[in-house]
Chain A
Amino acid sequence: AQSVTQPDIHITVSEGASLELRCNYSYGATPYLFWYVQSPGQGLQLLLKYFSGDTLVQGIKGFEAEFKRSQSSFNLRKPSVHWSDAAEYFCAVGPMEYGNKLVFGAGTILRVKS
């Protein structure tokens, strides 16, 4: 069965500090991988996605993620966190077939302290 695990429910970092959010997946084949961010009252916004090729992908807002096949992981990183990054972050997997459903992790709530 397809599943996504985000081990950290909450993470608190200081503004300006680096960030890493963990994501592990279980999938029968090579999936497409995504990170979304959700702010209160807002819809999910795509930060970045991995389909193939370079395992380090760059996204919006200064985020990047690294795909590690051997560890079934797709961790999200940012070198310097801003207070506006406080939100909930979701990792998701999708099949390589066109346009099918996404399977999401339970999310990680990021708090930024000044």
Chain B
Amino acid sequence: DTGVSQNPRHKITKRGQNVTFRCDPISEHNRLYWYRQTLGQGPEFLTYFQNEAQLEKSRLLSDRFSAERPKGSFSTLEIQRTEQGDSAMYLCASSSRDGQYNEQFFGPGTRLTVL
């Protein structure tokens, strides 16, 4: 088990372009979370999946953002028509159902810079 992985680790794009990030959770973890972290702030929740079902979306997730987890394994986060305000670290976490509460294991993040 190599932990949660995220690709790419860094992405630089021009305003208006679309970008897609990938998250591979720990195998057999059925919950997957996306968070966004801007400079000087803690992570902010964006959305989460249980298996392939997207169960909650934050109001931070505008209609330019879409997340999928098609087979209940890896997940993608797409941002369309990027804006400079989208520049942030995008973190993915996963957890499994094991007991009353499940620790979320975080990946290293994808740092997005929008020029």
Q: Could you tell me how many residues of chain B have their Cβ less than 8 Å away from some Cβ of chain A?
A: 29
For A94, list chain B residues within 8 Å (CB).
101
With contacts A32-B101, A99-B97 taken as known, whether A41 is within 8 angstroms of B108 at the C-beta atoms is yes
With contacts A41-B108, A44-B43, A106-B41 taken as known, whether A101 is within 8 angstroms of B56 at the C-beta atoms is yes
Among A32, A99, A100, A103, residue most surrounded by chain B Cβ atoms (within 10 Å): A99
For B106, list chain A residues within 8 Å (CB).
36, 43-45
For A42, list chain B residues within 8 Å (CB).
108
Chain A interface size range: 20 to 34
Chain B, residues 30-55, CB within 8 Å of chain A (1/0): the string is 01010100001111110010100000
- How near does chain A come to B91, taking the closest CB pair, in angstroms? 7
Are A51 and B42 in touch, CB under 8 angstroms? no
Cα separation A96 to B104 with both chains bound (whole Å): 14
Among A46, A98, A101, residue most surrounded by chain B Cβ atoms (within 10 Å): A101
With contacts A99-B50, A101-B48 taken as known, whether A107 is within 8 angstroms of B102 at the C-beta atoms is no
Cα separation A105 to B91 with both chains bound (whole Å): 15
For A67, list chain B residues within 8 Å (CB).
none
- In the complex, the chain B residue whose C-beta lies closest to that of A105 is B42
Within 8 A of B (CB), among A58-114: 90, 92, 94, 96, 98-107
6 contacts across the A-B interface (CB closer than 8 A): A43-B106, A46-B104, A92-B42, A99-B50, A99-B95, A107-B42
Q: Which 4 A-B pairs have the closest CB atoms?
A: A104-B42, A43-B106, A101-B45, A44-B106
